[in-house]
Structure formats: C-alpha cells, structure tokens
C-alpha cells in the first residue's frame, strides 16, 4: 500500500533478487502469483518479501565413526551411517538443517557459510579472535568441492499466494572428519539445540529438509532405509 513501493518483479531489483529459481512467475494486479498454486492465504504473510524469498541451507555431513576412527556401518544394510549437523528450531521445535535468508547483495556461498556459523557455531557471540579461528577452519570445508542438493521452490508453512520460499541446499561433506571434529557445535541465533544426528528415513525434519537429506545419502552412498524396497522381477 506504500505509494513509493514499486518492486521490479522477475528481475534483480537493486540489491534485492526478485528473480525466481524456477523461472518467470505471473504478476497479477501488481502482486506476484505463487507459481505452484493456491495456498488459501493472500498477501505477504510472515515472509519478508513479496514473490520469491531466497534462503540457503548448508547440509554439513561426516561419517559416523567408532572410538578408533573406523566408519560405522548399519547392521541391516551394511551401508555406512552418515551424520549431519542439525538444529532444533526455536520457532516450532522441529529439527532442521541450519539455514536462513540470503541478505540483499549477498552471494549464496556467503549465506551458506554465515548461516552455518551463526546457527551451529554461535559465531555472533564469539570474540573477533574466536571468530577468525572459526573462519580459518571452516574455509577449508566450504571452499572444497560441494554438491548442490536442490535449487528452487520449497513447500514451506509460511508460503502464501503472493510470497513463497525458495532455497539452495548445498552439501559440504567432511570426508575425514578432521575439520568438523575440532569445531565446538554451539546453538546460536534461531537454534535452540545443535548436534550431530545420524541420518535415516526415521528422521522427521522441518518442511522439505527430509527430502534434501535423502538426496545427500543417495549421493554419498550412505544408509537411508532398512526396507529394501520392492523385490526386483526377473
């Protein structure tokens, strides 16, 4: 309703990215239309922007190991068990991937690292020296080759007819465990609790996060389900 508010939808609007990861969306009567369908809620709702709201979800993983440092395999499937850094969200109490909104003008790679530091390592409460040390250790993990798990629209409880969440979920895998083993996990920002969680289909996670985690286990060849699935036919 603000007379001075005339966003440039479907393009980069100054520092704000109003383009969708899913391509062009319809703008009707000056309001963007949710490309996936109706939600029963009009307006912007709880989201910060009309149209696409961009988030980034860093999936940081390592292999579960015993005291001697050997990988632990699942007794039924024989596949190694993967762990990821999970946070318990303060707003709804559900377990989730630590992630958050992309700041105006910020690169996705920067958001992924910043959100992980803030939510899983409580970097906002650290001294400049401690923060620099964290940065140094994380640089190796976040600058290595990574796997883009998903880019696009996400089914989020806050979506409305005119505003919706989109995310880029990226897996940073610490193959040896050396980088993450020395980092003290500490909940910060929007997180109530943070810890390493064993991955399996039994996990119940926030929004689309279970789907992202499943894609990561497939990529890493890790354990997911005890159910072998339908028997193959001759």
pLDDT tens track for 17-46: 999 999 999 999 999 999 999 999 999 999
Share of the chain above pLDDT 70, in %: 96
pLDDT recorded at residue 229: 61
Beta strand 163-174 pairing with 51-63: parallel
pLDDT in tens, 60-115: 999 999 999 999 999 999 999 999 999 988 888 889 999 999 999 999 999 999 99
Say which residue, 134 or 167, is predicted with more confidence. 167
Alpha-carbon gap, residue 113 to 142, rounded angstroms: 7
Whole-model pTM above 0.75? yes
Q: Determine how many CB atoms are found less than 10 A away from the CB of residue 137.
A: 14
Residue 42 is predicted with a pLDDT of 96
Question: How many Å apart are CA 76 and CA 88, to the nearest integer?
Answer: 28
pLDDT over threshold 50, residue 234: no
Domain residue spans in the chain?
Answer: 11-220
- Does pLDDT of 129 surpass 90? yes
Given the candidates 4.10.490.10, 3.40.50.1950, 3.40.50.300, 3.90.79.10, the CATH classification of the domain at 11-220 is 3.90.79.10
In tens, the pLDDT along 184-223 reads: 899 886 768 999 999 999 989 988 899 999 999 999 999 9
Residues sharing a CB contact under 8 Å with residue 189, sequence separation 6 or more, in sequence order: 100, 118, 119, 122, 124
pLDDT at 113: 94
Q: Note whether 82 and 200 are within 8 A (CB).
A: no
C-beta separation of 168 from 178 below 8 A: no
pLDDT digits (tens, 9 = 90+) for 174-183: 999 988 888 8
What mean pLDDT comes out for the span 135-151?
92
């Amino acid at each position: 309703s603000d007379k001075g508010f005339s966003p440039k939808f479907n393009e980069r609007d100054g520092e704000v990215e109003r383009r969708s990861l899913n391509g062009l969306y319809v703008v009707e009567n000056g309001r963007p239309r949710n490309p996936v369908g109706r939600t029963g809620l009009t307006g912007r709702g709880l989201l910060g922007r009309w149209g696409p709201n961009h988030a980034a979800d860093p999936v940081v993983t390592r292999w579960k190991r015993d005291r001697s440092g050997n990988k632990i395999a699942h007794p039924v499937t024989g596949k190694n068990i993967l762990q990821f850094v999970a946070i318990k969200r303060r707003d709804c109490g559900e377990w989730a991937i630590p992630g958050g909104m992309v700041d105006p003008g910020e690169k996705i790679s920067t958001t992924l690292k910043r959100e992980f530091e803030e939510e899983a390592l409580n970097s906002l409460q650290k001294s400049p020296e401690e923060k620099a040390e964290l940065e140094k250790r994380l640089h190796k993990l976040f600058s290595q080759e990574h796997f883009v798990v998903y880019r696009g629209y996400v089914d989020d409880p806050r979506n409305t007819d005119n505003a919706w969440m989109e995310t880029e979920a990226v897996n940073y895998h610490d193959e040896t465990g050396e980088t993450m083993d020395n980092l003290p996990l500490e909940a910060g920002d929007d997180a109530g609790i943070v810890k390493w969680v064993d991955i399996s289909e039994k996990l119940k996670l926030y929004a689309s996060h279970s789907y992202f985690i499943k894609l990561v286990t497939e990529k890493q060849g890790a354990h997911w389900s005890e159910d072998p699935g339908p028997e193959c036919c001759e």
